[in-house]
Structure 1
Amino acid sequence: MAGRIRDDDIAEVREKARIDDVVSQYVTLKNAGGGSQKGLCPFHDEKSPSFHVTPARGFYHCFGCNESGDVISFLMKIDGLTFTETVERLADKYGVQLRREEGDAREEQRPKGPPRQRLIEANKVAQEFYAEQLATPDALVARQFLAERGFDQEAAATFGIGFAPREGEALFKHLRGRGYTQEETVEAGLVAIGRSAYDRFRGRLLWPIRDAPGDTIGFGARRIFDDDRIEAKYLNTPETRIYKKSQVLYGLDLARREIARSSQAVIVEGYTDVMACHLSGVGTAIATCGTAFGDDHARVLRRFLNDHEEFRGEVIFTFDGDAAGQKAAIRAFSGDQNFVSQTYVAVEPDGLDPCDVRIKKGDAAVRELVARRVPLYRFVLSNIVGKYDLDRADGRVDALRESARLVSSIRDKSKVDAFAREIAGMIGIDIDEARAEVRRAANRRPGQEPAATTATPPPRSNVPDLRDPRFALERETLKLVVQHPMTIGRSTSEIGPNDFTHPTYRAVWELVAAAGGPGAGAGDPGWGTKLRDAATDPEVSSTIGALAVEPLKKEPDAAYVAEHVIRLMELTTARRIAAIKSKLQRTNPVEQPEGFNKMFGELAALEAHRRALRDRLAGPPS
């Protein structure tokens, strides 16, 4: 069995893999001041960004859910990797040669099946193979399909489009020739097992589906031959360790930077629609892969859209103008509250999708389609109201009832009144009548739970709040210890555990002391990670993560360090003085002269020590 990876190689991986580069492949980050960046947390749903990354220290911390760590722990959590898989993946990307300890069998237990990176590599090899096959004589029908839709060879190369040979084992043989086992090809979703192994996609036009960083993780395959025995128009990669259709957005690898820049996302219905939009200048287009746009898709998109209360962008859905498109719009409206951004619908009056618009009307028409967007709620309510004859009293009643049922179902109750006003205007009734029907619809809905307006508070604990002003000095001092161990250095030689009154902060200091004190972290880029890894209490581990990324009030110098360290010791001295004074008041000097005199001497010494600390804080006389 191979030995564990050498510690110095792991340290090199941490140093070369900049955490902001890695995290920005999953989250749109904005400057937050003090050398920190922030964005929406990828580990929990939130409306305001509380996820901070500090590149200088290689740390991240979410002040909402308290997740924290370094570049390795980030990838482990977000991609479900083991420690070794993560280090190997980063080493490969950033050019670090990994070495292993001889005879050390403490290698971590891998999950069953091939390593995740092997599945990604197999999909990459498959994509390259399919792209090469698109140029073969057998792929003539595939090339004609693309040409009829206005996609030339350059467009096909941009999107990595390929062709799966009709032969049943062409890809499987190619992958075996490249050293991939049958298990790996099956686990990657490329090969299926019947009487024998065979290619999952045969005789179809293929679009590679990539994750946000750009790794191919699956394929979408379109039927192009009439004699294809599988009737389904599209086939997609099945669920695998790397491909989860409820979390995958086609085109996100190409669109994510433009989405972040413009704070706009255009959600279309198919692969060719994504291509048409991008080639027409709408570089924010994305699509789901064989499934409806759902809550998980929204959570993924929000991280790149930078969708939060401080800045509202746009989410634009495109739907066909038919009944299916209207049904999709209603489904999108039900998930409207997933976004802080404003939601819109872009529908071509002729009922054309973006690909057909480009073919028949040109690139400018695609851009105009997006520009003519209308609010999603108005589109949905107009479609409902439009089904009824509003010149008849019973038609107006039915339109009001159906509209009210839809409005009463939304989770964001702050929007209900505005939507009720919209209904009243469309139907031509009094606003109070619309409001009353919405209330009745809500009461009629069985099993309805009241909308949550705020997060459920965590259970109360006897441990005081870490941000209680009483502990502000302890927190600031520990931020110096974690972030600037070289600067604070020997200044902490007089500090001990008793200087920290909050139990969590005291535990952090004890970890620092056990590691050799702040001086041990001087020049060590992995200092914060070492402290965090040494913590056995999740609360302490999370606190170290927060201390590592939270900005200081200013760039620390000797005076700033001295102010915090000396003031911390002065507070400790003041507490000891107060305790002795209290005990002196309870001691009879006649009955206990020895104890009284000893305490009086200690009090005098402590008073002198406090004056000395104050003198040090004031500095030498001018």
Structure 2
Amino acid sequence: MGIRTVRRGEVAGRIRQADIQRVREQIDIADVISERVTLRNAGGGNQMGLCPFHDERSPSFNVTPARGVYHCFGCGVGGDAITFLMEADGLSFAEAVERLAAKAGFQVTYEDDAGRRSSPRHKPGQRQRLLDINSTATEFFQQHLTAPDASIAREFLTGRGFGKDAAEHFGCGFAPDSWDALTKHLRAKGFSADDITAAGLAKPARTGNLIDRFRQRLIWPIRDTSGATIGFGGRKLSDDDPGPKYLNTPETPLYKKSQVLYGIDLARKHIAHSGRVAIVEGYTDVMAAHLAGVPVAVATCGTAFGSEHIRLLRRFLFDSDSYTGEIIFTFDGDEAGMRAARKAFQGDQQFIANTFVAITPDGMDPCELRQNKGDQAVHDLIASREALAKFVLDNEIQKHDLDTPEGRTHAQQAVVPILGALKSGVYQNDYVKTIAAAVGADEADLKRAVRNARHGQGARPESSTTRRPTHQTDPVIAQAQREALKLALQNPALAGPYFDEVDSTVYTEGQYRVIREAIARAGGAGSAATAGANWASEVVAACDDMAASALVNELVVEPLFIDSAPDHHYVQRLLAQIQRPVVARDVEEMKQRLKRVNPSNDQEEYMRLFGELVAAEKQLRALRDKASD
């Protein structure tokens, strides 16, 4: 029997079970996952990386190639290679099997309900249709690069040091000077007008007809980490073209510019191997760097380097507490470059890896540097990198006249917030010493100012009337703890059945925990009916802390943070919010314990811990669901 593949609008049809089994046997799941995640040996035949489905700082995504399965101990996802493609790319079961079968070098066979072989009858999902359109468009552009009217594009490439082999390696093409040449070609291949528009390759004209987005432009295909084309970038070649110098695919279901890095398909293995990535500015800079022997270069596509790019790169850098790599930004030494460096420094705090900056000489970008001074100059540019923090600090100090007391004071004031933002305390101390000497400041005074700046981030002044928590609990969680106590004191009949089941260990604030323990000593909220109007007084009497007693009297009359009458869903949501961080910490501790157990040496202990972890993860997911209701 085969497995039915009726999903997402597909008609009935089966892929032969033998073909599905063949995919599972022939596909190396580590190869599939490595297109999106750098995996490292974790012992016992397992591999580990940073999860592609949620952001994490310690790797908890485990792959077992021998069994063909993966599991993330952080977010709980798991499955085989087929499941991975379905989750990562939004494919149907049939589409995932077909893609993996093609990777293994064979074509799947379908059969009807009677077991007779038949042609595939499922309709590809939108993602697959758009990938097919982009693949066809790539071939169209590449074929036109050799046409007579594409001489202007070929001259552009050769003028920058890129020959035929380079153009083919990077997939360069040419969009002819025609209103609808590509659209007609795609329609002739059977693609619909809606899908062509959805792919961002054409747009409606005033007449209602579709016109090509890219015309008379040098074209670069923009690919995802697996090498699939998801969009295009086009460079203007004629002064008569009124459009922008560079034109990219608009936002589509495939192409999200904030998540795209040009060259990542070619660079990812080199990034994983070397633990280094170079961020350059454009398509030709990526080409120049790779051809010069720096194959770790990537570039953003029409947008600034941001948090989504960081998240993508962290997975390939294996950017975790156990491994540290290098991120090298290349900038011009002008004011615009300095602004870019400051922005990069802000993003630096999301990396564990070390971040550097390489300033291009004489305002030349890597492409111009290669043209004028050769491949070695590009190597030297990367080798000349300096710490991004040092570059930002030095640049800030240079703005001030250190020969005057006023200038030294202003310089010190300017660097304090930068020093306070440094992610490493060791580096911070080193820089404090260096900067203090540079600006003539007292080291102890500067260190105190930095410490105050660091602790002051996001801080709110205390209020004696609200008695806000004194140590750093998430404000949302702290508010949920306060609200739960108010409900137990003001409406014990509603809160009692749920409130009493959650003990004081989840109340992380000192005064709140004291009050929760006093409620328990008073018999619990569920017994408040027998106390009647004296319920709050009994809780006060059970408090062994005067400040907590005063806070009980305050909570009894403080309004709830809900406009309507509270119900049991509201109580459960609050208690789930309170418990979630505690259970999350338990899960993290279990994961660390599990990592220390070698399943080959102590399989019983490994499976026991694994069972506890699965149960805790299940509890955590349930709490997350309740907290978001």
2:370 and 2:180 map into 1 onto residues whose CA distance is 37
Asked if structure 2 preserves the Cα contact closer than 8 Å seen for 1:334 and 1:410, the reply is no
- The aligned runs of 1:181-192 (5 Å cut-off) are 181-192=192-203
- The aligned runs of 1:269-308 (5 Å cut-off) are 269-308=281-320
Asked if structure 2 preserves the Cα contact closer than 8 Å seen for 1:384 and 1:403, the reply is yes
Taking only aligned residues, the RMSD between alpha carbons, in angstroms, comes to 3.8
1:82 partnered with 2:204: no
1:446 and 1:506 map into 2 onto residues whose CA distance is 34
2:518 equivalent in structure 1: none
- 1:436 is displaced (CA, Å) by 3.3
- Which of 241, 244, 250 in structure 2 is aligned with 1:228? 241
2:404 equivalent in structure 1: 392
Letter in 2 for 1:69: G
- The aligned runs of 1:9-48 (5 Å cut-off) are 9-48=19-58
- The aligned runs of 1:400-479 (5 Å cut-off) are 400-409=412-421, 416-439=428-451, 441=453, 458-459=580-581
- Runs (5+) with no aligned partner, structure 1: 105-109, 484-499, 509-536, 543-622
Q: Does the residue aligned with 2:410 lie in a helix, a strand or coil?
A: helix
1:180 and 1:140 map into 2 onto residues whose CA distance is 29
- 1:468 is displaced (CA, Å) by 11
What are the Cα deviations for residues 493-519 of structure 1, in whole angstroms up to 9, with x where unaligned? Answer: xxxxxxx999968999xxxxxxxxxxx
Residues 470 and 139 of structure 1: is their aligned pair in 2 closer, same or farther, counting only changes over 3 Å?
A: closer
1:431 and 1:311 map into 2 onto residues whose CA distance is 32
Residues 14 and 540 of structure 1: is their aligned pair in 2 closer, same or farther, counting only changes over 3 Å?
A: farther
Residues 133 and 21 of structure 1: is their aligned pair in 2 closer, same or farther, counting only changes over 3 Å?
A: same
2:614 and 2:432 map into 1 onto residues whose CA distance is 55
2:113 and 2:620 map into 1 onto residues whose CA distance is 31
What are the Cα deviations for residues 514-573 of structure 1, in whole angstroms up to 9, with x where unaligned? Answer: xxxxxxxxxxxxxxxxxxxxxxx983999xxxxxxxxxxxxxxxxxxxxxxxxxxxxxxx
What are the Cα deviations for residues 104-147 of structure 1, in whole angstroms up to 9, with x where unaligned? Answer: 9xxxxx99995311211211111111111111221222122112
1:539 equivalent in structure 2: 618
2:155 and 2:295 map into 1 onto residues whose CA distance is 25
1:445 and 1:263 map into 2 onto residues whose CA distance is 32
2:269 equivalent in structure 1: 257
Residues 192 and 459 of structure 1: is their aligned pair in 2 closer, same or farther, counting only changes over 3 Å?
A: same
2:329 equivalent in structure 1: 317
- 1:452 is displaced (CA, Å) by 8.9
1:373 partnered with 2:385: yes
Identity %: 48
1:331 equivalent in structure 2: 343
- The aligned runs of 1:46-65 (5 Å cut-off) are 46-65=56-75
1:341 equivalent in structure 2: 353
Asked if structure 1 preserves the Cα contact closer than 8 Å seen for 2:13 and 2:122, the reply is no
Residues 142 and 372 of structure 1: is their aligned pair in 2 closer, same or farther, counting only changes over 3 Å?
A: same
2:101 equivalent in structure 1: 91
2:382 and 2:131 map into 1 onto residues whose CA distance is 34
Asked if structure 2 preserves the Cα contact closer than 8 Å seen for 1:164 and 1:201, the reply is yes
2:49 and 2:213 map into 1 onto residues whose CA distance is 39
2:620 and 2:449 map into 1 onto residues whose CA distance is 52
- Which of 145, 160, 170 in structure 1 is aligned with 2:156? 145
- 1:256 is displaced (CA, Å) by 1.1
2:49 and 2:295 map into 1 onto residues whose CA distance is 22
Asked if structure 1 preserves the Cα contact closer than 8 Å seen for 2:400 and 2:411, the reply is yes
State the TM-score, normalizing by the size of structure 2.
Answer: 0.70
Residues 29 and 376 of structure 1: is their aligned pair in 2 closer, same or farther, counting only changes over 3 Å?
A: same
- Which of 216, 223, 226 in structure 2 is aligned with 1:203? 216
2:567 equivalent in structure 1: none
2:515 equivalent in structure 1: none
What are the Cα deviations for residues 15-57 of structure 1, in whole angstroms up to 9, with x where unaligned? Answer: 3332111001111112222211112222222233221111111
Residues 199 and 265 of structure 1: is their aligned pair in 2 closer, same or farther, counting only changes over 3 Å?
A: same
Asked if structure 1 preserves the Cα contact closer than 8 Å seen for 2:419 and 2:450, the reply is yes
Asked if structure 1 preserves the Cα contact closer than 8 Å seen for 2:35 and 2:226, the reply is yes
1:413 and 1:172 map into 2 onto residues whose CA distance is 57
1:617 equivalent in structure 2: none
Residues 271 and 57 of structure 1: is their aligned pair in 2 closer, same or farther, counting only changes over 3 Å?
A: same
Asked if structure 2 preserves the Cα contact closer than 8 Å seen for 1:4 and 1:101, the reply is yes
Letter in 2 for 1:10: I
Residues 291 and 119 of structure 1: is their aligned pair in 2 closer, same or farther, counting only changes over 3 Å?
A: same
- 1:173 is displaced (CA, Å) by 1.0
Residues 66 and 172 of structure 1: is their aligned pair in 2 closer, same or farther, counting only changes over 3 Å?
A: same
2:126 equivalent in structure 1: 115
1:2 partnered with 2:15: no
Asked if structure 2 preserves the Cα contact closer than 8 Å seen for 1:330 and 1:380, the reply is yes
Q: Does the residue aligned with 1:350 lie in a helix, a strand or coil?
A: helix
1:193 equivalent in structure 2: 204
Residues 426 and 63 of structure 1: is their aligned pair in 2 closer, same or farther, counting only changes over 3 Å?
A: farther
Q: Which has the higher contact order (CA 8 A, sep 6+)?
A: 1
- 1:349 is displaced (CA, Å) by 3.2
1:517 equivalent in structure 2: none
Residues 244 and 451 of structure 1: is their aligned pair in 2 closer, same or farther, counting only changes over 3 Å?
A: farther
Asked if structure 1 preserves the Cα contact closer than 8 Å seen for 2:432 and 2:443, the reply is yes
Residues 146 and 426 of structure 1: is their aligned pair in 2 closer, same or farther, counting only changes over 3 Å?
A: farther
2:581 and 2:114 map into 1 onto residues whose CA distance is 47
- Which of 273, 277, 280 in structure 2 is aligned with 1:268? 280
1:59 and 1:503 map into 2 onto residues whose CA distance is 15
1:156 partnered with 2:167: yes
Residues 280 and 505 of structure 1: is their aligned pair in 2 closer, same or farther, counting only changes over 3 Å?
A: closer
Residues 156 and 452 of structure 1: is their aligned pair in 2 closer, same or farther, counting only changes over 3 Å?
A: farther
Q: Does the residue aligned with 1:208 lie in a helix, a strand or coil?
A: strand
1:513 equivalent in structure 2: none
State the TM-score, normalizing by the size of structure 1.
Answer: 0.70
2:413 and 2:122 map into 1 onto residues whose CA distance is 53
- Which of 348, 354, 357 in structure 1 is aligned with 2:366? 354
Residues 34 and 457 of structure 1: is their aligned pair in 2 closer, same or farther, counting only changes over 3 Å?
A: farther
Q: How many residues align?
A: 486
Asked if structure 1 preserves the Cα contact closer than 8 Å seen for 2:219 and 2:234, the reply is yes
